[in-house]
């Protein structure tokens, strides 16, 4: 079937451009860099968000105990949050006025004991590696003959503090065998260190600790974060960070692969041969666009899918489906816009060096200079009108292809998402701006190629 004149030659040029780029060292290098940023960042930031649940690298589980002669003894069990003890670690004690009292070292089971006489309170400091942690021990009367030190946090590393670790010692400072239940249902018994860890449901739970017929009940609240989307502070937050960083390298990827798509034909003297084929100039330009777009889009999409998979594997739950889909689609839109921009610049450039320079300048313009200039302009023009300042900064994003792609992605974020990179503009406005950018850049690339290709 014969194509209309406007598209004539497009499939052949697209295939040639695509296969040429697939063999390019530039594509391999940029794909590896993208994988390092997206996949490596997905794993690293997923681990980082786990710290939002409040888990330190080490815990001083501090308890009061009493010697046979009635003297107060501060007992500190030094371990990681998951109950692995740290032996031979210094534990420093001070009085309520922060006057040092002395240091005790943890034994083979991680316990450090220090007699504080008749003092009713002492401060405790431990140092593990380069980190320092502090807590305190009070000796005020208690209704039961055991003490409980608990730590709530994101033990399962999925972005929600629904885990609880507990250390239970008896009055003498020895590990206690305690039965623990949540809302009346048993969750287990403490180990030989007096430690237990378990998960809690969302909402308020009553955690009961029973030792030797005595019991104590603690209320523990697990928040349903982000208004009913409990994982938006975990996998979705990681995806938000990755999307913001990925868009920077995706735009560079598009520029690096397409910067000489037109200029190289002119430099190598093959432009006349290309135009002498049974193909139209619009068909050639569209073929160049499709070939370069496909060569960038395929590895970028594969890397993005791998990043989403790593987030899901590392956190135990994947990002919200619509948000992940918008991330994939936003990346493709950004590739298309920057390829079209670079095809126009490559047509105008006389040499490959000029094409590279133009590409670097356009990337700096939209990703570095544009946000600075618009922020300064907003300050100068609307310093006395906060409402106008806000509206200007939101609308100014429509003049930047990277901001448009980012806004489209974050418009698909789950309800109540407390991330960043969003926009107060309505989806139809941002979508229309994206369409205008694409059609405008395509028309500009076609017009420029029609006028300058044969020069």
Count how many domains the chain has.
Answer: 2
Q: What does the pLDDT read at residue 20? A: 87
- CA dist., res. 155 & res. 107, Å (int): 26
pLDDT for position 384: 77
What is the pLDDT at residue 52?
46
- Per-residue confidence (pLDDT) for residue 204, from 0 to 100: 94
Residue 138's nearest CA partner among 157, 116, 122 is 122
What does the H/E/C string look like for 114-179? EEEECCCEEEEEEEECCEEEEEEEECCCCCCCEEEEEEEECCCCCCCCCEEEEEEEECCCCECCCE
3 state DSSP class of 250: helix
Is the domain of 425 the same as that of 313?
yes
CA nearest to 198, candidates 232, 168, 226, 174: 168
- Same domain assignment for residues 46 and 176: no
Query: And the tokens for 319?
Result: 């990002």
**Statement to judge: residues 269 and 187 lie in one domain:** no
Backbone angles phi, psi at 274, to 5 degrees: -65, -40
Place of tokens 């050639």: 284
Q: Are residues 208 and 301 in the same domain?
A: no
Both 67 and 142 in a single domain? yes
Cβ-based burial of 185 (10 A; exposed 0-12, middle 13-18, buried ≥19): exposed
| Residue 206 sits in the same domain as residue 267 | no
Per-residue pLDDT of the chain (455 residues; tens, 9 = 90+): 456 778 787 888 888 889 988 888 888 888 888 888 888 877 776 665 544 445 777 899 999 999 999 999 999 999 998 999 999 999 999 999 999 999 999 999 999 999 999 999 999 999 877 667 889 999 999 999 999 999 998 887 666 788 999 999 999 999 999 999 999 999 999 999 999 999 999 899 999 999 999 999 999 998 875 433 434 456 887 888 888 888 989 999 999 888 888 877 777 766 666 666 677 888 888 999 999 999 999 999 999 999 999 888 877 777 888 889 999 999 999 999 999 999 999 888 877 788 889 888 999 998 899 989 988 988 888 877 777 777 788 788 889 999 999 888 888 877 655 555 556 677 888 899 999 999 999 999 999 988 876 55
At 453 the pLDDT is 62
Structural domain of 111: 56-153+162-222
Q: In angstroms, rounded to a whole number, what is the distance separating the alpha carbons of residues 356 and 359?
A: 5
Cα–Cα dist 57/82, whole Å: 10
């Amino acid at each position: 079937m014969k194509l209309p004149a406007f598209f004539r030659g497009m499939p052949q040029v697209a295939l040639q451009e695509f296969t040429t780029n697939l063999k390019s060292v530039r594509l391999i290098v940029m794909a590896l860099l993208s994988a390092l940023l997206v996949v490596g960042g997905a794993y690293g930031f997923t681990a980082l968000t786990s710290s939002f649940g409040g888990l330190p690298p080490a815990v001083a589980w501090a308890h009061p105990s009493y010697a046979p002669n009635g003297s107060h003894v501060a007992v500190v069990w030094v371990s990681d949050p998951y109950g692995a003890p740290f032996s031979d670690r210094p534990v420093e004690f001070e009085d309520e006025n922060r006057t040092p009292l002395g240091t005790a070292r943890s034994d083979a089971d991680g316990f450090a004991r220090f007699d504080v006489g008749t003092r009713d309170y002492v401060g405790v400091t431990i140092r593990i590696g380069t980190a320092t942690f502090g807590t305190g021990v009070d000796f005020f009367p208690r209704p039961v003959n055991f003490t409980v030190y608990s730590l709530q946090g994101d033990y399962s590393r999925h972005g929600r503090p629904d885990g609880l670790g507990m250390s239970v010692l008896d009055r003498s400072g020895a590990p206690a065998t305690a039965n623990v239940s949540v809302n009346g249902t048993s969750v287990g018994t403490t180990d030989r260190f007096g430690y237990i860890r378990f998960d809690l449901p969302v909402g308020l739970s009553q955690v009961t600790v029973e030792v030797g017929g005595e019991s104590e009940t603690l209320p523990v609240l697990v928040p349903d974060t982000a208004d009913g989307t409990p994982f938006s502070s975990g996998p979705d937050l990681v995806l938000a960070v990755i999307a913001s960083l990925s868009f920077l390298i995706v735009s560079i990827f598009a520029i690096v692969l397409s910067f000489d798509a037109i200029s190289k034909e002119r430099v190598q003297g093959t432009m006349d041969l290309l135009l002498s084929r049974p193909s139209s100039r619009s068909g050639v330009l569209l073929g160049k666009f499709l070939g370069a777009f496909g060569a960038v889009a395929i590895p970028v999409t594969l890397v993005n899918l791998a990043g989403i998979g790593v987030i899901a594997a590392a956190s135990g739950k994947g990002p919200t489906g619509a948000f992940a889909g918008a991330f994939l689609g936003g990346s493709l839109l950004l590739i298309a816009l920057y390829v079209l921009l670079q095809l126009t610049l490559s047509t105008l450039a006389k040499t490959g060096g000029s094409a590279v320079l133009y590409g670097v300048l356009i990337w700096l313009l939209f990703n570095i200079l544009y946000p600075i200039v618009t922020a300064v302009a907003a300050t100068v023009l609307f310093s006395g009108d906060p409402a106008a300042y806000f509206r200007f900064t939101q609308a100014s994003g429509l003049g930047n292809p990277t901001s448009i792609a980012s806004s489209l992605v974050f418009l698909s974020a789950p309800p109540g998402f407390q991330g960043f990179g969003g926009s107060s503009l309505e989806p139809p406005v941002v979508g229309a701006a994206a369409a205008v950018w694409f059609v405008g850049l395509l028309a500009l690339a076609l017009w420029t190629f029609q006028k300058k290709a044969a020069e």
